[in-house]
Amino acid sequence: MAHAAVQYFLSLFFFLFFLSPNVVSSIGVMLNPYNPSCASKPPASATPISSSDVDLLQFALNLEHTECDFFLYGALGCGLDAIAPELAMGGPPPIGARKANLDETTRLIIEEFGYQEVGHLRAIKNTVGGFPRPQLDLSAENFAKIMDDAFGYHLNPPFDPYNNTINYLLASYAIPYMGLVAYVGANPNINGFVSKRLLAGLLAVEAGQDAIIRAKLYERMHEFVPPYQITVAEFTNRISSLRNRLANCGIKDKGLLVPHELGAEGRISTNILSANRDSLGHRRTPAEVLRVVYGTGSERQPGGFLPKGGNGKIARELLVDH
């Protein structure tokens, strides 16, 4: 009996290790849930984070902070100071942010976006360090001015992003896309493999947020935005045109309805995603981004969402007085 048992185990050993490597691999994974093969190896000759990466990735914090508090307040009525106060690093609370009157589906989407932005702030600051949250202006008055600038006249009554779901989505249209184009613009100048991994992860989620916002607006693009006799599509076109005008570097932003020649392959007028002639994401430099976010058309004149200017080396060096 003992001899038979020995033969059985020897046969099983031979089968597992010589005839069925897949079985061995599966058993190894079960015994050791952490599978080293899941982690990609770093490039043979590269640095994790180059010195030039730090400023570019920290610059993005200005946009991430703006999105974070706008989304958290819109969905919850409270912001970063209530969810992860350590990430504010003592920066002042945003001006005028408040809870929006959203339908429950949209509220849940925006709440998720807010938490995602908390994660983005943590990821950037843990990887390359950071700075205190800059002064943000998320007031209805600031958004009203943006919309007035987009249309070239005062909307009556003034646009209020917190009034209802469609207004809030239009206001959201004005924010995440700037993070998207900033990351696409920064990508060629990022050198470290850890920095590249971080930027790719950030860009993926920013693009997803922008796509969801645009898709929800796309479904209602022919509706009038009450109480104005202006369609959703016209709002998006005006906002995009304003950003192109402020950035002053050509067409890198398009609304939901475009001339055929600006649509995908020059064959369609609907424009659910904004992209270039090859359907690649547009890119903007930090200076272009600040011209838009400041709302002044100048990277040296703060205003808009960042009334005291952005924080970090890049933004501060672009100011007139630094």
Residues 306/138, Cβ–Cβ less than 8 Å: no
Residues 57/199, Cβ–Cβ less than 8 Å: yes
With a cut of 80, say whether residue 100 has pLDDT above it. Answer: yes
Of 153, 162, 182, 154, nearest in space to 253 by CA: 182
Whether cis (ω within 30° of 0) applies to the bond prior to 157 is yes
pLDDT tens, position by position, 249-294: 999 999 999 999 999 999 999 999 999 999 999 999 999 999 999 9
CA distance 214 to 272: 6
CA distance 78 to 72: 6
Rounded to an integer, the average pLDDT of 55-79 is 98
Residues 225/235, Cβ–Cβ less than 8 Å: yes
pTM: 0.87
- Vertex 132: Cα angle to 287 and 118 (nearest 5): 90
Rg (CA), the chain: 25
Name the percent of the chain lying above pLDDT 90. Answer: 82
pLDDT tens, position by position, 3-16: 555 455 445 444 44
Residues 87/72, Cβ–Cβ less than 8 Å: no
Note the Cα 178 to chain centre separation in Å. 8
Instruction: Give the CB-side neighbour count of residue 152, counting CA atoms within 13 A.
Output: 4
C-alpha dist (Å) from residue 131 to 62, 86, 91, 163, 189: 9, 11, 8, 32, 21
- Vertex 290: Cα angle to 320 and 296 (nearest 5): 70
Q: How confident is the model at residue 163 (pLDDT cuts 50, 70, 90)?
A: very high
pLDDT tens, position by position, 18-56: 444 444 444 444 445 555 677 777 776 679 999 999 999
CA distance 256 to 259: 10
CA distance 278 to 284: 17
CA distance 88 to 80: 7
CA distance 156 to 276: 34
CA distance 180 to 202: 9
